[in-house]
Amino acid sequence: MSKTIAAISTGSAPGGIGVIRISGDNAVEIASRVFLPIDNSSLTELKGYRAKYGNIIIDGEKADNAVALVFRAPKSYTGEDVAELSVHGGLLMVKKTLEAVLKNGASPAGAGEFTKRAFLNGKLDLTQAESVAELISAEGEQSLKASFNALQGALSRKINSVLDSLLDVSALMAAWIDYPDEEIPDLSEDELKSTLEKCRNEIKALLDGYENGQTVTKGVATAIVGKPNVGKSSLMNMLTGTDKSIVTHIEGTTRDVVEGAVRLGGIVLHLSDTAGLRQSDDIVEAIGIEKAYKALDSAQLVLAVFDSSQPLGANDLDIIEKCKNKTAVAVINKTDLENALDEEEIKKAFEKTVYISAKNGDGYDALEEAVSELLGVAQFDSSAPMLANARQKNNCENAFASINEALDALSLGMTFDAVNVMIDAAADELLSLTGRKATTEVVNNIFKNFCVGK
């Protein structure tokens, strides 16, 4: 018997509709105590996948018009009986309906508890459960596609196919070891090796795509740097399409680091528009500059802006120096003005140089292309299976290491017994990745990062 839980499943801002989700053995019974169908029927009689229009009843009085949806176990998101009440989405109405549901016997759902129950009831594996969280938080087009793809089981299928191969090899070896007198076909060492190598390569391909995937799905911390008045704020505005940072003639007006996220192509750039990078005696300004240098140090991508209407100055050279060893694009701005800049130093120092006019928006496409190429995401395929987080990566790294050990052991002529221990270790990592054999601690850790209502 599962405890019946309830939570608000829609956001925490007012909207047209707010949904209260109830899941567990008494879900429909509890919903029927706060919802009366317009035809006076009882919700408890309703079959799965049916809806009723009616009223929310709080303290014996009609409180709102609502729609109740009923799902019957196991055909629901959680695999349990589920009722969903859609009320008008004012925050107070949604909250009051939830309170009524709780008063009538449901317990408040914990963070991610609906999805956790879906996992425990075999509706989703762990990679799919994680993709629910990714899908909800996705900010970019590619990220959305990739997480939906994972929800559809792209990664699970890939991992399970490698796992099946490993388990086949392991079973065969175990049989060969345990029943030497039986009619078990001879194990060819070459075949074993080639199967293991194939498994290893598939895991390697997933690991190789990890950084790229993270860049595309999570976005990159980006610093816009340049001496005062080169057009950093203007570039930021060109990217955001809003007047988020102040554009002005007076040097040093961008005193602090302004944060914002923009999409450039399929990638999300987490921008910090930084105060001019230069020496300063003004204390407030100096704090801004210090922050700017910090932003530069921790940035995964730097957009270094130069003014094409002025010769290179000491500040520019300083910035060029700071950008060494960084993933950086030189952005030569103000191309609408007469050119006075000798670009040789810049071109030598940066892998990519683009020309823009932040004033009239020229060069946007070139910047987009340069960033995408520089980050190596130009060829990103969001439909390919992809590792979504450090947990999944860690499991794959361990599996990869164990398969390598097994291959080495085979080459050294170690016994099948010993080799099989390593293959089993690799299989265990993959079982843990998809959750078929994950510890309670791993499972709890995953769901504690979800929001309530998911």
- Residues of this chain that bind ligand GDP (CB under 6 A): 226, 228-234, 247-249, 254, 276, 333-334, 336-337, 357-359
In terms of CB distance, is 86 or 229 closer to ligand GDP? 229
Q: Where do the DSSP E strands lie in 195-327? A: 220-225, 258-264, 267-273, 301-307
In terms of CB distance, is 4 or 229 closer to ligand GDP? 229
In terms of CB distance, is 149 or 308 closer to ligand GDP? 308
Shortest Cβ 439–ligand GDP spacing (Å)? 51
In terms of CB distance, is 79 or 228 closer to ligand GDP? 228
Shortest Cβ 255–ligand GDP spacing (Å)? 11
* Element housing 99 (H / E): helix 91-103
In terms of CB distance, is 37 or 228 closer to ligand GDP? 228
What CA–CA distance (Å, rounded) separates 57 from 270? 46
Residues 6+ apart with CB under 8 A from 68: 31, 35, 37, 43, 46, 51, 52, 54, 83, 84, 85, 86
What CA–CA distance (Å, rounded) separates 361 from 358? 5
Nearest alpha-carbon partner for 429 in 242, 209, 200, 252: 200
Neighbour count for residue 336 (Cβ, 10 Å): 13
What CA–CA distance (Å, rounded) separates 190 from 188? 5
Shortest Cβ 284–ligand GDP spacing (Å)? 15
What CA–CA distance (Å, rounded) separates 416 from 196? 14
Nearest alpha-carbon partner for 269 in 295, 231, 243: 295
In terms of CB distance, is 204 or 294 closer to ligand GDP? 294
Shortest Cβ 307–ligand GDP spacing (Å)? 8
In terms of CB distance, is 212 or 309 closer to ligand GDP? 309
Q: Where do the DSSP E strands lie in 265-408? A: 267-273, 301-307, 328-333, 352-355
| 430 phi and psi angles, rounded to 5 deg | -75, -35
Beta strand 82-88 with 352-355 is unpaired
In terms of CB distance, is 221 or 247 closer to ligand GDP? 247
Shortest Cβ 335–ligand GDP spacing (Å)? 7
Shortest Cβ 358–ligand GDP spacing (Å)? 4
What are the tokens at 10? 């829609």
What CA–CA distance (Å, rounded) separates 191 from 388? 32
Shortest Cβ 139–ligand GDP spacing (Å)? 25
Shortest Cβ 374–ligand GDP spacing (Å)? 22
